Amino acid sequence: MLETVGAGLRPLTTTAIVDAAVEHVRDDPVLWYGIVAPVSLPLAAVGLWFFDLTHDYRGDPDGYGGRVVLGAAAIALLFHLRFVATGALAWALERRLRGVAVSAGEAWWAALRRSLTLVFAGALLWALSVAAGFFALLPAIVPFALLVLAPPIIMGEETRPLRTLRRSIELGWLEVGRAFSVACILGLGALLLALGTALSLRAALELARTIFYADLAYWEAVLSFSNPTFAVGALLFGVALLEPVKALAFALLYVDRRVRTEGFDLKRKVQLILERQKAAAPTEAAP
């Protein structure tokens, strides 16, 4: 796992980056999910409700249009807050790599101070990726890879919007292949989590019917793979559960790129030595 305390940073392979992100989440799930859960879980819930509302449309009853507008506005707000949460995760990781304790509140406060730049970079990434995706998957990889490193750049280097774009493109074009590979691994992981969640719910339903001899025909129809709302809900839950791993993986990819091309580990070691000397100076001067 990437560390700056002791042995220092080292270049990692693509799979090792994802493994390191998973290990970070496993080491302190309260911190990482405490940062992202206030946004990812409501976004999944509202997204599922909005899908169920608009999927099977049967006329125009009173209040339907208002519910659609309200759901769309809530999704837009939470989607933009998700960019801020990604910045908070990147900031918390950068602090943890220094060996500094951090809380979810501190991470959110640091990200909110740069929220406009985070939202700008995130919205631009999605807009360009979706626009390129209309033609084919391959063109969408390019804007995704060029801008996916923007959140850790914003939080680590405190860049402004235009400087963020230039810096993200400068590092991202070197990581097109690995960024796409990480995205594929994470996408597969989200699908596996979604499938596991769906099968677990089905197994719990069968167990309840076996134990209590209850008529659960309604719930069997709801929790069925033939129900698109159930399938979408499982997928949204899988994405929400993997959200901190995704953000940490791309933040680690940013760190790894700087280790490979800019001696980022050496800079960190020098910085740690200076900080320790500065902290030790008052103690030595006291006698």
Q: List the one residue out of 16, 8, 44, 5 whose CA is nearest residue 242.
A: 44
Quick count: other Cβ atoms within 10 Å of Cβ 133?
15
| Contacting residues for 123 by C-beta, under 8 A, at least 6 apart | 80, 83
* Angstrom distance (rounded) from CA 9 to CA 255: 9
Domain spans of the chain, in order of start: 14-285
**Which residue bears the tokens 């220094």?**
98
Q: Is the pLDDT of residue 3 over 70?
A: no
Q: What is the pLDDT of residues 121-155, one digit of tens each?
A: 999 999 988 888 777 666 778 889 999 999 999 99
The Cα-based distances of 147 to 28, 126, 183, 209, 235 in angstroms read 27, 9, 13, 49, 25
pLDDT at residue 276 is higher than 70: no
pLDDT band for position 6 (cuts 50, 70, 90): very low
Q: Assign 60 to helix, strand or coil.
A: coil
Reference 95, options 38, 6, 155; nearest CA is 155
Of 47, 41, 129, which Cα lies nearest the Cα of 85? Answer: 41
Characterise 285 by phi-psi region: left (phi > 0), alpha (psi -120 to 50), beta (else).
alpha
56 phi, psi to nearest 5 deg: -115, 75
Residue 117: closest CA among 77, 147, 72, 76: 147
Taking residues 104-116, report their average pLDDT: 95
Q: Using CA atoms, how far apart are residues 97 and 92, in angstroms rounded to an integer?
A: 9
Confidence of residue 191 (pLDDT cuts 50, 70, 90): very high
| Residue environment code for 3-34, b if the CB has 16+ CB neighbours within 10 A, otherwise e | ebeeeebeebebeebbbbbbebbeeeeebbbb
pLDDT in tens, 48-91: 999 988 887 666 677 788 888 899 999 999 999 999 999 999 99
Residue 268: partners with Cβ closer than 8 Å, 6 or more residues away: 4, 8, 9, 97, 98
Confidence class for position 7, pLDDT limits 50, 70, 90: very low
> What pLDDT score does 278 carry?
74
**pLDDT digit string, tens, across residues 253-275:** 998 888 888 776 655 655 666 66
pLDDT at 156 over 80: yes
d(CA 53, CA 67): 8
> Predicted confidence band at 2 (pLDDT cuts at 50, 70, 90)?
very low
25-29, 81-85, 279-283: the lowest-pLDDT one = 279-283
Residue 145 DSSP label: H
Q: H-helix or E-strand containing 193?
A: helix 176-212
The CA distance from 75 to 236, in Å, is 13
For residue 206, pLDDT over 60 is answered with yes
pLDDT of residue 58: 60
Q: Which residue has the higher pLDDT, 119 or 271?
A: 119
- At 130, list the tokens: 């979706």
Higher pLDDT, 58 or 176: 176
